Amino acid sequence: MNSESIINPKYDLSQYEKISEKYEKDPLAYLEQYYTKYFLIDSNENTSEDFYIYQAPNKLCVIGLAPTHPLLQQSQKVKSIKFDEKISQSINKKKQNPLSVKSEICVITTEEGRNYSIKAGIVGWVINFNMRLDKDDDLLQKKPFTNGYLAIIKPKQDVPSKALNHCIDEEKYKEIRKLNI
Amino acid sequence: MSKKRFWENDHELIPQIRVSNESDRWKRVRYDDVNEDIEVLYSNVMQYVMENYINLTYRTIVDTLLDIKCCARCIFRFLGVRDYKCYATSEEVLLKILNRIRLNEENITTSSTLQEEHPSTNILLSKTQEKPICTTCFDLLYQADTIECLWPIIENFNSHNFQVKTFNLSVSLPSGTIINNHSIKVYIRQTCRERNLSVDLSNTIDLKDPFKHLLGWSIEKKLGLKYYYQSPFNISIEYYHKNSQQNHLILTHIPSAEFQLKKVRIKGKAIWTGDSRQNIIAALEKVPDSDFISIAKCPPLEDKERWENYPPILEHSAIYVGGRYIKLSREISQSPWIINGERLAETSIAECIGEILREKFKCDDYNFVAAGREDVNVRMLGNGRPFYFEIMNPRNPFFFQQELDNTQKEINKTHKNLVQISHLTMITEQDLVIIKEGEETKRKTYSALVWISKIVTSEIIDKINQYQDKEFIIEQQTPIRVLQRRTQMVRPKIIYSMKAKALENHFLTLQLQTEAGTYIKEFIHGDLGRTKPNLGDLLDCYADIMALDVLEVDLKWPPN
Ligand SMILES: [Zn+2]
């Protein structure tokens, strides 16, 4: 490297052609740089309350609504998002029992009075609720896969295959839900 | 990470068992400026004696101590001779002086029954196994300047090849000497009392003082170093005496000593505590002589065993070398990156520089400290990042700037494509704080290659460049990528300046100057909206960072 490029670095764009192509097709493709995507399919055959779980390299999991979730499929207006108070208060406190997959962490109520229960989805501890959802009602439905995430959970199990073995990858999710995005 | 200590096999170079060479026991190191003139020495010694003892008790002291075959040097201690050069004189001269001290005054009273020489004189001068071992010093003081005493230190020093000019000395003497010295004092007082003489032994010289001086001078002479109490190079040696190791336990049988040992459990092992030197000395002070005599051996029993020592520890205090580094690779970490025993980056800045410094300074180990850090995939360019190395126990601690310049060249040549360093120089311990403060307070300048979901237009560039001279504040929640180890909180950070240059299509370069501790990657991709505003918000699109370089860490370093 010469001294000029140490002060004023040049970037070889040919290295980034492929990634740019991918990003142009899907502006959200950048998330794959930071997360491994998993999906949690509704166990009830008649509903499709599905969730995504993004896992970061540090094992933390971001949970949010999958594209097939009724709140994103039908035009329902969200009235309130209530995070579980007990869990809220336990964040950052030591020696908490981990939540189970089925533990309810949040309830979303629509204007029509429908309640959607949001579960932890993995065994672990909530370390952050997305409090911006409180301030901005539209965020959940407008940017569900980024700014509208619901919570960040620290899995009890460090090994992803153990922590997330009840989840499926994106390909399988699309296959089951017959999506071709 | 447990680094392999370059010198960890050093102890193998030192023979474990003392070579038993009878002549080493008696062979003394000769100092240049020792006065062997008996007249001069005698008057010198008598000055101290007259100062410390108002009546003729000193004669009784000399006789009593010669009776129990105390070494001449220890008798000098009880006489309160503070000129340690006197102790360096040969045993023959010392005994002549002692005999003169006990006889001269006696001549005045013309007592013809006294012998010329004390009967112990001959045996004390013997250089065979016949010579009784001094019960107060276990022959440590007697041998302080002998080859036998010096040998472990010299061997160790030479095998490590320390390049030093001065040394300091720490010695730890057998605990048995404390009890035996006390026992002898009690014995002297008892003897004087029987002869109706009053005696004050408070001017007795502690065994450690003449011992350290004699040993120190011998080291000076043998190794050509200067004995200097502030020297960064320390020679530490611990002596023990097996037979008397438990002697202080008699104190537990003397109620007036109030000496109590406590049993504590450390890692399941029962260990007795409370028998430190200070505790033993403090306890002895409380004991009336009559109590001591009833329990302890007074005078101490003769012993057939002499002193022994643990291997000496020779250590140079840490020195510091500082400079600035440029990291040219996106593959290497700043310090060794190892998780669960697995290496995640082949090498590191710390190792690239440190391993060469290790060879140069011949140190046990090193610690690398830098003003902040960059991620593995981030380069550090521009004026480089300030750093320093703490060099632990260097065998070769002295470097001229010229040698450091050569070392810098060698590092730069060896790691041409990974690391380049500049300004390599010796720094002081006081300078270190600058780096630590710099980490938290200094501005950083970055260059980033950015992809945005819109095609880059001049409007977009203008929108960014309006912040070129206009600072703004962002609020950063703890990034998800570090949230597993850092508490969730919101940190406001100042972006002092931001400017962009259009590249092709979706690409632009962004130059940022920010407050220390700003997370740049998160400012660009937004971290799921956890950094507000982020670049995407400002441009109303998605943004991602492709490459990041640090251009400047605004800190004057090294200090000179
Ligand atoms: Zn002695």
Q: List, for residues B513-560, the tens digit of each pLDDT value.
A: 999 889 999 999 999 999 999 999 999 999 999 999 999 988 999 997
What CATH code is carried by the domain that includes residue B478?
3.30.70.3190
Domain identity same for B501 and B408: no
CB-based contacts of B246, cutoff 8 Å, min separation 6: none
The distance in angstroms from the start CA to the end CA of chain A is 43
* A57 within some domain: yes
* A83 within some domain: yes
pLDDT at residue B154 in the model: 92
How big is chain A by its Cα radius of gyration, in Å? 19
Domain identity same for B429 and B451: no
Number of domains in chain B: 3
Tell me, yes or no, if A181 comes closer than 8 A to chain B by beta carbon.
no
All residues of chain B having their beta carbon less than 8 Å from the beta carbon of residue A13 are 503-504, 507
**The domain containing residue A128 runs over which residues?**
40-158
pLDDT at residue B271 in the model: 79
**The domain containing residue B490 runs over which residues?**
444-553
Please indicate whether residue B200 is annotated as part of the active site.
Answer: no
Return the sign of the alpha-carbon dihedral for residues B455, B461, B467, B468.
positive
What parts of chain A have a pLDDT lower than 70? 1-3, 180-181
Residue B506 has a CB neighbour count (10 Å cut-off) of: 22
More confident residue, B518 or B438: B518
SS3 letters across B447-459 = EEEEEECCCCCHH
Instruction: Identify the CA nearest to A66 among candidates A43, A47, A28, A40.
Output: A40
DSSP-derived 3-state class of residue B63: helix
pLDDT exceeds 80 at position B115:
no
Q: List, for residues B14-36, the tens digit of each pLDDT value.
A: 444 455 577 777 888 888 777 77
Nearest CA in chain B to A155: B484
CA distances from B546 to A23, B404, B475 (A): 12, 37, 22
The whole-angstrom distance between A59's CA and the closest CA on chain B is 8
* A74 within some domain: yes
Give the H/E segment covering residue B435.
Answer: helix B432-441
Domain identity same for B462 and B435: no
Cβ atoms A53, A38 nearer than 8 A: yes
Range among B125-134, B299-308, B429-438, B457-466 with highest mean pLDDT value: B457-466
Q: What is the mean pLDDT of residues B368-381?
A: 92
The whole-angstrom distance between A46's CA and the closest CA on chain B is 31
Concatenating the DSSP letter of every residue in B353-413 gives HHHHHHHHHT-SEEEEEESS---TTEEEEEEEEEEEEEEES-SS----HHHHHHHHHHHHH
Record the tokens describing residue B331, joined without a space.
Answer: 């593959």
- The pLDDT-based confidence of B502 (bands split at 50, 70, 90) is very high
- The pLDDT-based confidence of B496 (bands split at 50, 70, 90) is very high
Domain identity same for B69 and B192: yes
**Interatomic CA distance for residues B51 and B243, integer angstroms:** 36
Residue A119 has a CB neighbour count (10 Å cut-off) of: 17
**Interatomic CA distance for residues B219 and B213, integer angstroms:** 10
Q: List, for residues B251-267, the tens digit of each pLDDT value.
A: 888 888 888 888 888 88
pLDDT at residue A181 in the model: 52
More confident residue, B3 or A74: A74
Q: List, for residues B205-262, the tens digit of each pLDDT value.
A: 999 999 999 999 999 999 999 999 999 999 999 999 999 888 888 888 888 888 888 8
* B302 within some domain: yes
* A24:B506 CB<8 A: yes
Cβ atoms A106, A126 nearer than 8 A: no
pLDDT at residue A160 in the model: 80
* A109 within some domain: yes
Is the ipTM reported for this complex over the cut 0.95? no
Domain identity same for B325 and B192: no
- The pLDDT-based confidence of B11 (bands split at 50, 70, 90) is very low
* A13 within some domain: no
What CATH code is carried by the domain that includes residue B379?
3.30.70.2510
* B8 within some domain: no
Domain boundary pick from B281, B300, B315: B315
Ligand 1: centre distance to CA B77 (Å): 9
Domain boundary pick from B439, B472, B505: B439
Domain boundary pick from B439, B461, B493: B439
Domain identity same for B224 and B193: yes
Question: What are the beta bridge partners of residue B246?
Answer: none
Domain identity same for B53 and B127: yes
* B178 within some domain: yes
Domain identity same for B372 and B432: yes
* A93 within some domain: yes
Q: What is the mean pLDDT of residues B170-188?
A: 94
Residue B458 has a CB neighbour count (10 Å cut-off) of: 9
Domain identity same for B475 and B411: no
Q: What is the DSSP letter of A28?
A: G
Domain identity same for B394 and B291: no
Number of domains in chain A: 1
User: How many cross-chain Cβ pairs, A to B, lie less than 8 Å apart?
Assistant: 86
Range A67-75 contact pairs with CB under 8 angstroms and sequence separation of 24 or more? A67/A144, A67/A145, A67/A177, A67/A179, A67/A181, A68/A177, A68/A179, A69/A116, A69/A144, A70/A116, A71/A108, A71/A110, A71/A116, A71/A140, A71/A141, A72/A141, A72/A144, A73/A48
Q: What is the mean pLDDT of residues B66-95?
A: 94
Q: What is the DSSP letter of B146?
A: B
How big is chain B by its Cα radius of gyration, in Å? 35
Domain identity same for B469 and B523: yes
* A92:B503 CB<8 A: no
Q: Which amino acid would we find at residue B105?
A: E
What CATH code is carried by the domain that includes residue A79?
2.40.50.100
* From B200, B375, B462, B540, the catalytic residue: B375
* B9 within some domain: no
Tell me the pLDDT of chain B averaged across its residues.
89
Cβ atoms A27, A34 nearer than 8 A: no
- Could you identify the residue written with the tokens 């950083």? B444
Cβ atoms A128, A61 nearer than 8 A: no
* B112 within some domain: no
